[in-house]
Chain A
């Protein structure tokens, strides 16, 4: 059990700044998900914590102990790799035992831990097989098993589910969550899949270009994205970002109480409505450009005069609308997210 502290952590590759100063505290037993677009430095950050990558400047503390100079083996962490990195010439049992043997764990203890891990992950019948005789999902379990037999202070995951098909990914995601809750091991989890991030995380760390954009619970991040980047990155379909100028026509003045520095307004697709809500509301008129039924709900693309991109809204069921229809959409004042284009920051931050 341990906390992980990153203090002004930086990493340069030559003159590429991969990580530009990250501060983060992971509480004991917490599952933190690092999410961000490709190349934003998530893996680099995780690998620095693991000790696989040297640190350019800053500090890493695991359980309060500075580990910047420590070997990976001395950090008491276990890592699950994207390609699983199972030792191909060893049986599943061999893979699970390897780390314990290297640490001189007594035989009886090794057997007990391997048996426990095999029971938890239901890989008992696979113990004598070689990795190449396993399916993708089974390999994933073995990789998890190799991490949990060690009973480390922290788990590090680098996109562990991205090689699985969509269905298995959902299943394994649930299992990882359950396992982590049960073992209460401090975890850092890297993914670029925002749905995975939202469902797994105790807290989310949204990264972009080597910097942290926002840290918060998934709901906090969803409800109050701190930057334009987070607003566009979290949520599917993404938040509509509209120039404030195109909205501030007559009847919207009351609903849009925007500060002077607000020039972009964000509207979540699922917080836009076809019926006028009670009280004040932002009102937008436009023409239906596209109607996408996606099962239980539909995505409406509506072209509003004065904006380039159509606004997307999510509506329940299948509205009786056709492409080309003129409609009016509404948003509650509290669901309007104000941003400043220049700084990228939210302007009503409290």
Chain B
């Protein structure tokens, strides 16, 4: 393969050009990451005078701590719910828009807006709507006989953060699904229609299988999003409560480290999270290299 090559007359210039990016990566990513790994093997005394190297004790303690196991479960529930909810709604919207061929510009634009909203703002928005004292949603739910108070009820709190997190992510998924749907040739649908498959059957036997590369990609992206990008949202809505009900891993890292000042445990938790990110990224890269075969 022929690649474009630039020859620099000055030997130092390329390094100089790379330096800012390398510096940013080193200072803001590699160095803190290395610090976290180091801290995860240490214990700090309550006054911060001395640190002792304790091997894997932070980790073993972590996995026997009920709070952490609870957080793992909550994270799994949260990530799976957000992924399923946002992807299925996005797919539904994408299919609908794909049918209305003419006006899909407007719909598409409108449906994409939520993606431009920052997670914290999303959090505040939903916090406000579901606020048990002043929000509109609890007011309407009361009409249906549901007593909404996510400050007390753990399940309701989880439902709230799942809805808020999904709402934002639907836009992103929607865009990819629309693009995916438009790349399925119309003639396949027509051939299937002639072959006696109704709209529903056509969707599940022809369109959906052909969307599988998109679906797989989004699956990874959404899990990633739910696990790592929702910190601001949790912070603005529930603060991980009530009673740890929405204390997902990223939030717990923050709560234990910065609020509880248990640096060793927090560091170990972030190392575990780092490993999860690495694993997800590896899966994604493998997928990009040899696309899902159909």
Contacts and interface: CB of A to CB of B under 8 A. Distances in A.
Which of the listed residues B191, B197, B201, B206 has the most CB atoms from chain A within 10 Å of its own CB?
B191
B188 A85 contact: yes
Contacts of A81: 187, 190-191
Interface string B199-218: 00100011001101000000
Interface in B121-170: none
Interface residues of B, number: 19
B187 A87 contact: no
A103 B185 contact: no
Contact of A87 (B188, B193, B196): B188
B209 A85 contact: no
Given A52-B190, A102-B201, A89 B196 contact: no
Interface string A48-61: 00111000000000
B13 interface: no
A85 B190 contact: yes
A150 B191 CA distance: 13
Interface string A66-100: 00000111000111010101011100000000110
Given A83-B187, A102-B201, A88 B193 contact: no
Contacts of B192: 87, 98
The B contact surface, by secondary structure, is helix
Contacts of A73: 193-198
A87 B197 contact: no
Interface residues on A, range: 20 to 34
A103 B196 contact: yes
Contact of B197 (A77, A102, A146): A102
B193 A52 contact: yes
Contacts of A83: 185, 187
B193 A99 contact: no
Which of the listed residues A51, A73, A146, A150 has the most CB atoms from chain B within 10 Å of its own CB?
A73
B47 interface: no
A179 B196 CA distance: 24
B8 interface: no
B196 A99 contact: yes
Given A87-B188, A88-B210, A89-B294, A78 B194 contact: yes
B210 A98 contact: no
B294 A50 contact: no
A79 B201 CA distance: 19
B195 A99 contact: yes
A73 B209 CA distance: 22
B190 A72 contact: yes
A85 B194 CA distance: 12
A72 B210 contact: no
A73 B210 CA distance: 22
Contacts of B205: 98
Nearest to A130: B294
Given A83-B185, A83-B187, A89-B210, A50 B195 contact: no
Per CB-CB distance, the 10 closest pairs between chain A and chain B, nearest first, are A99-B195, A89-B294, A102-B196, A85-B187, A73-B196, A85-B191, A72-B193, A72-B194, A89-B209, A81-B187
Given A52-B193, A73-B197, A146-B195, 7 more contacts: A50-B190, A52-B190, A73-B193, A73-B195, A88-B210, A89-B294, A103-B196
Interface of A: 50-52, 71-73, 77-79, 81, 83, 85, 87-89, 98-99, 102-103, 146, 150
Interface of B: 185, 187-188, 190-198, 201, 205-206, 209-210, 212, 294
12 contacts: A50-B190, A52-B194, A73-B197, A79-B191, A81-B191, A85-B187, A85-B188, A85-B191, A87-B191, A88-B210, A98-B205, A102-B201
